[in-house]
């Protein structure tokens, strides 16, 4: 039994989500290999080789693997899939783009967004916006799995000494090409990796008012997040959305300001270690999951909170 973990990276840095996926692979058991498919990604392979518990790193390096086009990365995975019992991706935008292609071509059922490994063929995954847990047993010979990264503490980035094998890169599929990337500039920690998240909801009232959260986030070293209502109203950018159809976060501290606590929002943050909520409505459902709740008008409470910190 050997598991192949598909590395998440930007050709320079191995992303922490890979460490969470390796942690899930450890729970499955057997040897663990990491595939780095990229361009000029030798440094990433070197970082992957240091990850604790990894036996081997496969590096496929080619121009057409540079931008993680799903069609090409999927072909690269398929080229080595024969050697593996389990193929594991982080359930990130990129992992969720490649995994279904691999599963379809292998003619197996993808096992999505697992939160626990019960045995090498049995996994747990949340359903109904996190209100129930499905226990899924797969009889497929190969298991193609995506891992909810917030459910597995990442393994150590250092301590391993895996060998690095260079693979022959697959040919460019020609099915898609990279056109461009618009990256929002953000000096704050990445939302899904941040240890503290400060999120605002519709209660913030406007994009201008949303700025009120910045000094608080600055003091806490936090990422900024938002409810879908706040995003839909244009108060906050799309990629700040936390929830069922946004990002799943589980920071040490989640501060929800002017957010009611709809189940679709809770689905994205209820595994946070400590939840603080500020809402003027004492009946708001967010107080049902909050460790600390403050019934107050956010426009006075947030500056006071920031000052007190
Ligand atoms: P509201 O529910 O309007 O709550 C605003 C809160 O602010 C209220 O509790 C109010 O008391 C409080 N407030 C107002 N003024 C103040 C003030 N001055 N001081 C203090 N408190 C104040 N939502 C998500 O967030 N993420 C998702 O991923 C998501 N996915 C969805 C997927 C589907 C299929 C569907 C149907 C819905 C989804 N939603 C999602 C939407 C979700 O159902 C809610 O509509 C949304 O979360 C509400 O956002 P909110 O709490 O900011 O707004």
Indicate whether 261 belongs to any domain.
yes
CATH number of the CATH domain containing 76: 3.40.50.620
Q: Distance between CA 191 and CA 217 in Å, rounded? A: 12
Residue 289's domain comprises 196-308
Based on the domain organization, do 213 and 143 belong to the same domain?
Answer: no
Instruction: Give the per-residue pLDDT at 183.
Output: 78
Residue 79, helix vs strand vs coil: helix
Please report where in the chains the tokens 């392979």 appear, as a residue. 45
Backbone angles phi, psi at 225, to 5 degrees: -130, 180
Based on the domain organization, do 44 and 159 belong to the same domain?
Answer: yes
Helices (H), the chain: 16-28, 42-49, 70-80, 93-106, 207-210, 213-220, 228-232, 263-269, 298-308
Instruction: Give the per-residue pLDDT at 129.
Output: 82
Based on the domain organization, do 42 and 94 belong to the same domain?
Answer: yes
Q: Interface pTM (ipTM) of the complex?
A: 0.99
pLDDT exceeds cutoff 80 at 184: no
pLDDT digits (tens, 9 = 90+) for 260-305: 999 999 999 999 999 999 999 999 999 999 999 999 999 999 999 9
Based on the domain organization, do 200 and 98 belong to the same domain?
Answer: no
pLDDT exceeds cutoff 90 at 182: no
The residue whose CA is least distant from atom 33 of ligand 1 is 264
Indicate whether 185 belongs to any domain.
no
Indicate whether 74 belongs to any domain.
yes
Give the torsion through C-alpha atoms of 210, 216, 222, 228, to 10 deg.
-30
Based on the domain organization, do 125 and 240 belong to the same domain?
Answer: no
User: 247: CA distance to ligand 1 center in Å?
Assistant: 15
Based on the domain organization, do 228 and 295 belong to the same domain?
Answer: yes
Indicate whether 107 belongs to any domain.
yes
Ligand 1 probe mutation, 212, 226, 243, most atoms within 8 A of CB: 243
pLDDT exceeds cutoff 90 at 58: yes
Nearest alpha carbon to residue 133 among 108, 110, 151:
151
Instruction: Count the domains in the chain.
Output: 2
Instruction: Give the per-residue pLDDT at 27.
Output: 98
Atom of ligand 1 nearest to the CA of 226: 25
pTM (2 d.p.): 0.86
**∠ Cα 249 132 269 (to 5°):** 15
Categorize the per-residue pLDDT at 187 as very low, low, confident or very high, splitting at 50, 70 and 90.
confident
**Is any ligand 1 atom within 6 A of the Cβ of residue 209?**
no
User: 278: CA distance to ligand 1 center in Å?
Assistant: 13
Annotated ligand binding at 30? The verdict is: no
What is the enclosing helix (H) or strand (E) of 239? none
Based on the domain organization, do 231 and 96 belong to the same domain?
Answer: no
**Is any ligand 1 atom within 6 A of the Cβ of residue 285?**
no
CA 110 to chain CA mean position, Å: 17
Indicate whether 76 belongs to any domain.
yes
């Amino acid at each position: 039994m050997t598991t192949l973990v598909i590395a998440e990276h930007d050709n320079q840095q191995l992303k922490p989500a890979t460490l969470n996926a390796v942690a899930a692979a450890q729970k499955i058991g057997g040897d663990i290999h990491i595939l780095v498919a990229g361009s000029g990604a030798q440094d990433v392979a070197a970082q992957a080789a240091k990850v604790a518990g990894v036996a081997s790193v496969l590096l496929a390096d080619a121009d057409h693997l540079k931008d993680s086009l799903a069609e090409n990365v999927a072909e690269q995975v398929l080229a080595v899939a024969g050697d593996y019992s389990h193929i594991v991706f982080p359930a990130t935008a990129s992992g969720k783009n490649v995994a279904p292609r691999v599963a379809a071509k292998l003619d197996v059922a993808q096992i999505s967004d697992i939160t626990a490994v019960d045995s090498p063929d049995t996994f747990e995954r949340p359903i109904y916006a996190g209100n129930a847990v499905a226990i899924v047993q797969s009889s497929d010979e190969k298991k193609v799995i995506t891992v909810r990264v917030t459910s597995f503490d990442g393994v150590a980035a250092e301590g391993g000494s895996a060998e690095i094998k260079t693979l022959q890169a697959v040919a460019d599929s020609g099915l898609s090409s990279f056109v461009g990337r618009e990256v929002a500039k953000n000096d704050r920690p990445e939302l899904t990796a941040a240890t503290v998240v400060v999120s605002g909801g519709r209660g913030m009232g406007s994009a201008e008012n949303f700025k009120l959260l910045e000094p608080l986030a600055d003091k806490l070293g936090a990422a900024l997040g938002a409810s879908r209502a706040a995003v839909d109203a244009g108060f906050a950018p799309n990629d700040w959305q936390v929830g069922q159809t946004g990002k799943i976060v589980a920071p040490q501290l989640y501060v929800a300001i002017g957010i009611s606590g709809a189940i679709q929002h809770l689905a994205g943050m209820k595994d946070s270690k400590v939840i603080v909520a500020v809402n003027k409505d004492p009946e708001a459902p967010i107080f049902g999951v909050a460790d600390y709740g403050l019934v107050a008008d956010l426009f006075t409470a947030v500056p006071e909170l920031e000052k007190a910190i």
